């Protein structure tokens, strides 16, 4: 993503003339938690009801979180930081992520709005179902894998918000905050991991000074 002018005003940049459309571009992390935490609990409940043997569940949790970290990196690097040539494509990328780089301190545009996250979650559930249940013939793994994948997503959203607005002064919180803010203010085309720097190390998008 080309370097953009960073706006520090507290008032959000307006994206749409329509008040109806503009409303859906703003979201609180509390709302995200209220929406997705019950979904995660539901799929974990189904996992404990339908998965046998139960030792599958902790393994599935590790795998699901691992898959999320790769998904997070891939979306951030190749979708949110895609470089379109046409004006329409540039507008779409700006609406999805460019606005965040232009106004990184905007509290209502730090987590993914449900109008985007709900269809994406449905799409990923379909992919999990296709791969796990249809192709691998392992339906018992579906619920714990998807529950942990969504847990990873919720953690990512909350971590992302925290890196911009919570005073994390020690430990992993401090490291992730510094890591992500370097992405914004120093290397917008590197450091794509938010909840983990793992894939930046694997794909060599972590600059040498880290």
Mean pLDDT across the chain: 90
The conformation of residue 161, written as its DSSP 8-state character, comes to H
Domain that holds residue 57: 30-167
Residue 4 clears pLDDT 60, i.e. is over it: no
The two structure tokens encoding residue 51:
């998965």
36 vs 204: CA distance, rounded Å = 32
Q: How confident is the model at residue 24 (pLDDT cuts 50, 70, 90)?
A: confident
∠ CA 194-126-154, nearest 5°, is: 30
- pLDDT tens-digit readout, 26-70: 888 899 999 999 999 999 999 999 888 999 999 999 999 999 999
Does residue 65 lie within any of the structural domains?
Answer: yes
- The sign of the dihedral angle between the CA atoms of 152, 153, 159, 160 is positive
Q: How confident is the model at residue 121 (pLDDT cuts 50, 70, 90)?
A: very high
Q: Find the mean pLDDT for residues 135-153.
A: 97
Does residue 179 lie within any of the structural domains?
Answer: no
CB-CB contact of 143 with 51 (8 Å): yes
Does residue 205 lie within any of the structural domains?
Answer: no
The two structure tokens encoding residue 186:
């120093």
- List, in sequence order, the alpha helices (H) in 51-113: 56-74, 87-93, 99-102
Residue 25 clears pLDDT 60, i.e. is over it: yes
CB-CB contact of 47 with 139 (8 Å): no
Which CA distances in Å does 58 have to 91, 131, 133, 187?
42, 19, 19, 36
Does residue 80 lie within any of the structural domains?
Answer: yes
- pLDDT tens-digit readout, 177-194: 999 999 999 999 999 999
pLDDT of residue 1: 44
∠ CA 110-180-184, nearest 5°, is: 75
Does residue 81 lie within any of the structural domains?
Answer: yes
Does residue 201 lie within any of the structural domains?
Answer: no
Does residue 10 lie within any of the structural domains?
Answer: no
pLDDT of residue 2: 46
Q: What is the pTM (predicted TM-score) of this model?
A: 0.90
The two structure tokens encoding residue 161:
């918000």
Structurally, the chain folds into a number of domains equal to 1
Of 109, 114, 205, 123, nearest to 161 (Cα)? 109
Does residue 153 lie within any of the structural domains?
Answer: yes
- pLDDT tens-digit readout, 73-86: 999 999 999 888 88
Q: Which helix (H) or strand (E) holds 94?
A: none
pLDDT of residue 210: 60
pLDDT of residue 5: 60
């Amino acid at each position: 993503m080309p370097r953009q002018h960073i706006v520090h005003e507290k008032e959000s940049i307006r994206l749409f003339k329509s008040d109806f459309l503009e409303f859906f571009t703003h979201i609180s992390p509390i709302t995200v938690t209220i929406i997705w935490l019950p979904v995660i609990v539901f799929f974990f409940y189904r996992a404990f009801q339908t998965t046998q043997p139960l030792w599958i569940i902790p393994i599935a949790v590790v795998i699901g979180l691992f898959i999320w970290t790769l998904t997070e990196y891939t979306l951030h690097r190749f979708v949110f930081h895609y470089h379109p040539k046409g004006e329409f494509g540039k507008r779409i990328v700006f609406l999805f992520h460019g606005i965040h780089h232009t106004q990184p301190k905007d509290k209502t545009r730090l987590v993914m709005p449900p109008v985007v996250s709900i269809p994406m979650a449905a799409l990923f559930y379909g992919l999990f179902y296709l791969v796990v249940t249809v192709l691998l013939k392992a339906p018992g793994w579906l619920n714990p894998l998807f529950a942990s994948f969504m847990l990873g997503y919720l953690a990512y959203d909350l971590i992302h918000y925290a890196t911009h607005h919570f005073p994390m002064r020690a430990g992993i919180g401090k490291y992730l905050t510094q890591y992500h803010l370097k992405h914004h203010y120093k290397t917008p085309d590197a450091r794509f991991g938010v909840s983990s720097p793992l894939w930046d190390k694997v794909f060599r998008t972590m600059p040498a000074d880290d």
